[in-house]
Amino acid sequence: MNEENLNQDMSSEKKYWKSAEQLKENSPIVDALEQNEFVEHIPTDEFLGDKENLESSKTSRRDFLKYVGFSTAAASLAACEGPVIKSIPYVVQPERLVPGVSDYYATTIADGFDFGSLLVKTREGRPIKIESNKEATSMTAGKPRVHASVLSLYDINRLQNPMIDGKQSTWSAFNKEVKEKLDKTDKKIVLLTQTFASPSTDRLIQEFSEKFENVEHVVYDSVSETAVLDAFEQKYGIRALPNYDLSNAESIVGIGADFLGDWLGGGFDGAYSKSRVPQDGKMSKHFQFEANMTLSGANSDERFATKPSEQKHVLVEIYNQIVGRAASTNLSEKHQAAVKKAVKSLKKGGKNAVVLCGIDDVNAQLMALAINEALGSELTNLSNPRMIRQGDANKVSSLIKDMNSGHVGALLMCGVNPAYTLPNSDDFTTGLEKVNTVVDFALTMDETAKLSTYVGALPHYLESWGDVRLTYQDYSLVQPTIKPIFNTRNFQECLLDWTGNSKSYYDYIKSNFVESNEGVSWNATLHDGFYQSSDKFDTSDIDTSVAVSASKLLQSKAEGLELTLYTKSGLGDGQQANNPWLQEFPDPITRTSWDNYLTVSRSDADELGLTNDNVANGALNGSYANVTVGKTTLQNVPVYIQPGQAKGSVGLALGYGKKESIQEEMQVGVNAYPLYNNFNKVQEVKIEKASGTHEFACIQLHNTMMGRKDIIKETTLEIFNTKDKDYWNQTPQVSLDHQETPVDTPEVDLWNEFDRSIGHHFNLSIDLNACTGCGACVIACHSENNVPVVGKSEIRKSRDMHWLRIDRYYSSNETLAGDYDKKDNIKGLSSALSEFGELEKPSEENVEVVFQPVMCQHCNHAPCETVCPVAASAHGRQGQNHMTYNRCVGTRYCANNCPYKVRRFNWFRYNQNDEFDYHMNNDLGRMVLNPDVTVRARGVMEKCSMCIQMTQLTILEAKREGRPIKDGEFQTACSNACDNGAMVFGDINDKESVIAEKKEDDRTYYLLEYLGVKPNVFYHTKIRNTNEA
C-alpha cells in the first residue's frame, strides 16, 4: 500500500479496491471487468449448438416453455385413459383350486442344513408363504431361514436346464451320457451328498451300489457335527444326534452350544421357551458358558464369557463333580464359582437337568453324554434320536486324498458345494481335475457346478417329492406345491434312470412307505405331512466300556486368540445367500445386516487398536483386520466390537462371501470356510489391524436402555414370587393437579374413551420370557405383508422397512437391575452428566441381554392419528390402527409423532425399480407377493396393520360358514410364526380366550405406558431366575 492510497483513505472520499490490479492505472483487465462480467469470452454459441440455426429459429425461449407446458398437459390428459387389462382364465381349471382362496400343503424342508415339517400357503398354484406345521411331532419349522426359503424358490439365478460342459442340454442327453460314463468307469464311483436323511434315497443309493460295483457314498455336512455323531455312535451304536426335549427343564447348562441357534440342527427353542415361563412360581434355570455372544447366551439367566479352551476345563470340572474325577482342571476363580453354582443347580434339577455341549471333540461329547446319564436326565430323548446329520468329516478328507491320487473314476455330487464350503477347497479343486467324470446336482451354477462337466439342475424342495426321516421315529414327506418352474429333475429320479428303474420317484417313495409301514394310510400321511412310528430306538445295549479321555481333551493348550466359527440365524451355512430377505434380516445379536464380521471383545479391540464408531448420520463404521489361521489369511475382515465376547476369543460367521451365481448386491462378507480346518469350529488365530474402515448396515445404534424401566420391565423370580405386583410392575404415575395419579385413571386422559366392548377387539401379547429373539416372526411378517428389501446403503441411512423389529438391549452394568438402580440414584447435574454417559455404553464382558419385538402398538389413543392432515391414519373399532396408503400424501408427521418409531416411509419405489434390484424387480421374484396386501408406492407411510387381511379373512370365513369364531382362529403372521408361544393374538372381547387371560396377568405392562396412549399390544415382564439352586 503506498502513501497516496493512505492519504485517500483518510479523506472523506474513500476508495475501496477489489484487487491489487485495480491500483494500476489503465489496467486492461479492470476495464474489461467493468464492461463485462467475465474477462474471457464464454462460448455460449458453441455450447448451444449451431449459431446460425439458433438465430434463424422462430422459437423463442418463452415459446419453448409454452410448448413444454402444453405437451406436458396434453400428455397427462391423454394418460388419464385407463389401460386395457387382460384376464386369462384356465382352459381347464384344476378341480379343487378356487382363484383367490389359499390352499395349504404339508411338506418338509431337508436341504442338508435345515430340516423341519412345515405348511406351505399357495395361491393360484404358487407358494407364497411358509408356516409351521404345528401338528407335527418334531421339528416344527421356526427358523427365519425356513420361512424365507419360499423366496429362494423364485431365485432368478437358479439353474434352468441340465448342463453339459457349460452348455444347456436335455435330460435325455444328460442321463444317457452320464450312464455311459458310469458304465465305462473301472475306477471307484463316489457319491458325495448332503445329509438326505431319506429312507427312499438310502435305498436307491443301495440299489445304485449294487448295479455299479465299487461305489462309495460319502455324506458331507458343510457345517459338521462329526464329533457329536461319533460320540453318540460309540456309546449307543447308531449314527445319530441326541435329541433333547427341554419343556420340563429345571436346570440347563450350555457349554459352547448355541442350542437356540443352529446347534444339532436347531429347533430346541419351542420347548425351551415353555420351561422359561414362570408357572406356579417355577421356571428353568439356565447357565451358559460360551465365547461368542449367542442367542442361547443372551437368553440365559447367568452367562459366563468363557474362551473355548476354558470351556473344556468347565466341562471336565462339571464331569469331575457329577460323574467322578477324570482330570485336574485349571480354572479361574470366577469360573470355579460359576461351575459350583451350575453343578448345584444340575444336581438339584436331577432328571430335569441337562448339559448341552457344543465342543467339537469326541471326548467332550462323550463326557456330556456321561454327565446327562449320571444325572438321570430325562430331557435327553434317547428313544428318538435325530437323524438329520449323517456327515463324516474323516471320509470327506480321505475322499480328497483319493481324488488327488487318481483313484476316483466318477464323482456324483448332490446338494453340496465343496468348492466353496471345504476348508481345503484348493485340494478339492485340483483333485477334481483327476476325476474322469464329474457330475453335480445343484440349484444354481455355484462354485462346484462351475467345475463340473455334468450339472443337473435340481428342483427346489417346494417343487419335489421326497421323504425324510427327521428322527428315529418321525417320518416326514416332501410334496410339490408348484409345478417345476424350470426344466429340473431330482437326483433321485436320475438314480432311478441310471439303475434302469422305470418307476417314478413318487411311486418309489410310496411303495417304500407302504412296505415299511403296514396299515398306515399313505394319503393321511401326505395330508398331515408326517407320521410317527411307535418303533422306538432301543437303548438297552449301551456300550458302557467307551473310554473317556479327559486328559486328551485338555491336552491342547491355546495360546493367543481363539476363533469360534458360527452360523448366523440369517444365512446359516450360506445355501440361501442369494435371498434378499435373509441378507437384510438383522442378526438378532448384533442387529447388523448384509455382512459377516469378526466379533471382538472390547479389551482385545483396544489392545489391537480396532475401533467401532458412529459417523455423523449415526451409521456404524468399523476397522478391518487380517485374520490368520495357520497358513490361511483372510484379508480385510470387518471388526464388530461385541459386548459379552469372552476376552481372548473372537467369532466369525460362516456362509458369507459366496460369489458364484449370486447377484452382485448380495456378494457380501468374507468367506470363513477356509478357516474351518479339520471341521473344527474353534481355531487359533492371529489378528492384526488392516487399513481402512468398513461401513456396516446396523439398524440399532443405541444399545442400552439407560435404566429406563418403561421399555423393558424385568425382575427376578424371587421378587416375582414374593412381592406384590405393584412392587415390580407398578402402573406409571403421572401428575394430575400435583397429585401422583396412575396413568390409567380416566381423569388423566386427554382423549375421550370409546366403547370397544362390542364385536372383536384385537390384542397382541408378547411374553419377554418366551421370546428368544430368533426372528422367525420378522421374516414371516416380510412374506405376509410384501415388505420391500431396500439394500445395504439404505439400511445404513436407517431407512429399513421392517414392520416388525426385535430390539436387543444390553445392560450397561453387569445386570439390568444394576442399571435401574444406577439411574434411580442419579442426583444433581454433574452426576447426571457422567452417569448417563456411562449408562449409554454396554457392559463389556458380563452383560445381560433382553430382546423385545416391537411393531405398531395400535394405540387406542394413537398420537399418529391426530396429526395426520389427510386422515390417512385412522382407528378401527376392532382395535387396529388403519393405514390407508391411497390417502397418504407422505407428510411423515405421523412418524414424527409416533413414540415407538414403528412407522416406515417409502423413500423410493421399491418394486420394478432397477435401483433396488431384488425380488420385486423381476417377474419370478414377484410371484412371492401376497395378493391380498397392497404393494406400497413411493412417498407413502406404511406400518404393521396387525395383519388385518388375516383377521378380516377369519371373520369372513366364520360369517360364510355361519358360526361363532373359536379362540385361536385369529392370528397374525408373527403370532402364527412364533413357535415359542411368545406372541399370542386374539380377541379380548372373548372373555374365555387366552389373550383375555393374558391381559389380566400380573406380568402385563405396556410399552412407555406413562404416555397414556393405551396400546393394543402388551408385554409380559421378563423374569430372570437368579435363585441360587
Partner 1 sequence: MKKVLFRPSKLKIFLLLFSLLTLPQFYAQDNEPEVEDGPKTIEAVPDADPVKGKELFNSLCAACHKPYRKAVGPALHGITERRDLDWIQKWTINSRELIDSGDSQAVAIYEEYNRQAMPAFPQLSNEDVNDIVAYVEQPKPEPSGGKKDDSEDREIAGGGGVSTDVILGILAFVFLMLLVILFLVNKTLRRFAEANNVELYKKKEKSKPIWVAFAENQFLVLVSVVVVLLMVAYGGYGYLMQVGVDQGYEPIQPIHYSHKIHAGENEIECKYCHSSARKSKHSGIPSLNVCMNCHKQINEVAEETGNDEYSKEFYDNEIQKLYEATGWDPDTQSYTGETKPVKWVRIHNLPDYAYFNHAQHVTVGQIECQTCHGPVEEMEILYQYSPLTMGWCINCHRETEVKMADNPYYEKIHEELSKKYGVDKLTAAEMGGLECGKCHY
Taking CB under 8 A as the rule, does residue 869 contact partner 1?
Answer: no
Q: Which is nearer to partner 1, 76 or 502 (CB)?
A: 76
Nearest alpha-carbon partner for 225 in 176, 265, 188:
265
State in angstroms the smallest separation of the CB of 144 from partner 1.
Answer: 24
- Kindly report the CA angle at 209 between 203 and 213, in degrees rounded to 5? 165
Sheet containing 762-767, strands listed edge to edge, beginning at the edge strand earlier in sequence: 983-987, 762-767, 1017-1020, 1004-1005
Q: State which residue, 591 or 760, has the beta carbon closest to partner 1.
A: 760
Candidate ranges 608-616, 746-754, 962-970, 1021-1029; the one touching partner 1 (CB under 8 A): 962-970
User: Please, which residues have CB within 8 angstroms of residue 927's CB and are 6 or more apart in sequence?
Assistant: 126, 128, 154
**For residues 99-118, which are near partner 1 according to CB under 8 A?**
99-101
Cβ atoms within 10 A of the Cβ of 989, count? 18
Q: Is 616 among the residues that bind partner 1 (CB under 8 A)?
A: no
759 lies in the site for partner 1, by CB under 8 A: yes
DSSP 1000: T
Of 175 and 785, nearer to partner 1 (C-beta) is 785
Out of 341, 647, 799, 887, the residue judged to bind partner 1 by CB under 8 A: 887
Q: How far is the CB of 777 from partner 1 (least distance, A)?
A: 19
Query: Residue 1021 gets which letter from DSSP?
Result: -
Asked if residue 75 binds partner 1 (CB under 8 A), the reply is no
Among 680, 884, 891, 1026, binds partner 1 (CB under 8 A): 884
- Nearest distance from residue 895's CB to partner 1, in Å? 18
Nearer to partner 1, 61 or 963 (CB): 963
CB of 1015 to partner 1, least distance (A): 17
**Judged by CB under 8 A, which stretch of 615-623, 687-695, 820-828, 926-934 contacts partner 1?**
926-934
867 binds partner 1 (CB under 8 A): no
Stretch that binds partner 1, among 107-115, 318-326, 379-387, 875-883 (CB under 8 A): 875-883
Tell me the window of 33-41, 113-121, 797-805, 930-938 that interacts with partner 1 (CB under 8 A): 930-938
- 886 in contact with partner 1 (CB under 8 A): yes
Among 93, 394, 722, 825, binds partner 1 (CB under 8 A): 93
Residue from 328, 952, 966, 1002 binding partner 1 (CB under 8 A): 952
State whether residue 964 is helix, strand or coil: coil
Would you say 750 or 758 has its CB closer to partner 1? 758
A 10 A CB-CB count for 556 gives 11
Residue 962 interacts with partner 1 (CB under 8 A)?
Answer: yes
Q: In this structure, what DSSP letter does residue 846 have?
A: S
Interface segment toward partner 1; rule CB under 8 A; list 379-387, 658-666, 845-853, 961-969: 961-969
664: burial class by Cβ within 10 Å (0-12, 13-18, 19+)?
Answer: exposed
Residue range at the interface with partner 1 (CB under 8 A); choices 183-191, 550-558, 609-617, 950-958:
950-958
Burial string for 831-863 (b: 16+ CB within 10 Å, else e) reads eeeebeeebeebbbbbbbbbbbbbbbbbbbbbb
Write the interaction track for partner 1 spanning residues 716-755; mark x where CB under 8 A is met and - where it is not: ---------------------------------------x
- 207 vs 990, which CB is nearer to partner 1? 990
**Interacting positions 628-667 with partner 1 (CB under 8 A):** none
**Residues across the chain:** 1029
Neighbours of 32 (CB within 10 A): 13
Q: Which of 661, 880, 921, 972 binds partner 1 (CB under 8 A)?
A: 880
Phi–psi pair at 351, nearest 5 degrees: -70, -15
Among 758, 828, 829, 869, binds partner 1 (CB under 8 A): 758
Give the sign of the dihedral formed by CA 1023, CA 1026, CA 1028, CA 1029: positive
* 965 lies in the binding site for partner 1 (CB under 8 A): yes
Are 705 and 817 in contact by the 8 Å Cβ rule? The answer is no
Among 794, 932, 987, 1009, binds partner 1 (CB under 8 A): 932
Q: Is residue 88 close enough to count as binding partner 1 by CB under 8 A?
A: yes
Show the 3-state SS of 743-789.
Answer: CCCHHHCCCCCCCCCCCCCEEEEEECCCCCCCCHHHHHHHHHHCCCC
Grid cell listed for 514: 407302504
98 binds partner 1 (CB under 8 A): yes
In 10 A of CB 562, how many CB atoms?
21
Helix or strand holding residue 4 (H, E): helix 3-10
Kindly provide the b/e burial profile for residues 581-608, where b requires at least 16 CB atoms within 10 angstroms of the residue's own CB: bbbbbbbbbbbbbbbbbbbbbbebbeeb
Residue 963 engages partner 1 in binding (rule: CB under 8 A):
yes
Which CB sits closer to partner 1, 156 or 871? Answer: 871
647: number of Cβ within 10 Å? 16
Q: Does 906 bind partner 1 (CB under 8 A)?
A: no
| Smallest distance, partner 1 to C-beta of residue 952, A | 7
Residue type, 639: V
Closest distance of CB 213 from partner 1, Å: 45
- Residues 6 or more apart whose CB falls under 8 angstroms from that of 683 comprise 562, 563, 565, 629, 675, 676, 677
**562 close to 684: Cβ distance less than 8 angstroms:** yes
Which lies closer to partner 1 via its Cβ, residue 743 or residue 864?
Answer: 864
What's the CA gap between 412 and 416, in Å, rounded? 10
Cell of 116: 423341519
Pairwise CA distance, residues 903 & 894, whole Å: 8
Q: Is 959 in the site for partner 1 (CB under 8 A)?
A: yes
d(CA 175, CA 182) in angstroms, rounded, equals 10
The distance of closest approach from Cβ of residue 880 to partner 1 in the complex, given in angstroms and rounded to an integer, is 6
Out of 49, 89, 324, 746, which residue is the one contacting partner 1 (CB under 8 A)?
89
Phi, then psi, of 510 in degrees rounded to 5: -65, -45
Q: Does 885 bind partner 1 (CB under 8 A)?
A: yes
Q: What is the DSSP letter of 101?
A: S
The correct pick among 874, 895, 924, 1008 for binding partner 1 (CB under 8 A) is: 874
Of 248, 533, 934, 1004, the one binding partner 1 (CB under 8 A) is 934
Report CA torsion sign: 495, 497, 501, 506.
Answer: positive
**756 contributes a contact to partner 1 by CB under 8 A:** no
Give min distance, CB of 887 to partner 1, in A: 7
Task: Figure out which of the listed residues 78, 91, 616, 750 binds partner 1, where binding follows CB under 8 A.
Answer: 91
**What is the amino acid identity at position 839?**
L
**Residue 41 binds to partner 1 (criterion: CB under 8 A):** no
Query: What's the number of CA atoms in the CB half-sphere (13 Å) around residue 415?
Result: 24
| Of 818, 876, 890, 899, the one binding partner 1 by CB under 8 A | 876
Per-residue burial over 880-907, b = 16 or more CB atoms within 10 Å of its CB, e = otherwise: bbbbeeeebebeebbbebbebebbbbbe
883 binds partner 1 (CB under 8 A): yes
Give CA–CA dist 269/262, Å, rounded: 10
- Closest-CA residue to 563 (of 459, 482, 633): 633
- Binding residues for partner 1, rule CB under 8 A, total 49
78 sits near partner 1 (criterion: CB under 8 A) = no
Identify residue 36 by its one-letter amino acid code: N
Among 689, 882, 892, 999, binds partner 1 (CB under 8 A): 882
For residue 523, state whether it binds partner 1 (rule: CB under 8 A). Answer: no
Query: Where does this chain touch partner 1 (CB under 8 A) — which range of 98-106, 217-225, 529-537, 601-609?
Result: 98-106
Q: Does 238 bind partner 1 (CB under 8 A)?
A: no
Q: Which residues bind partner 1 (CB under 8 A)?
A: 80, 82, 84-93, 98-101, 755, 757-759, 872, 874, 876-878, 880, 882-887, 932-935, 945, 948-949, 952, 955-956, 958-960, 962-965
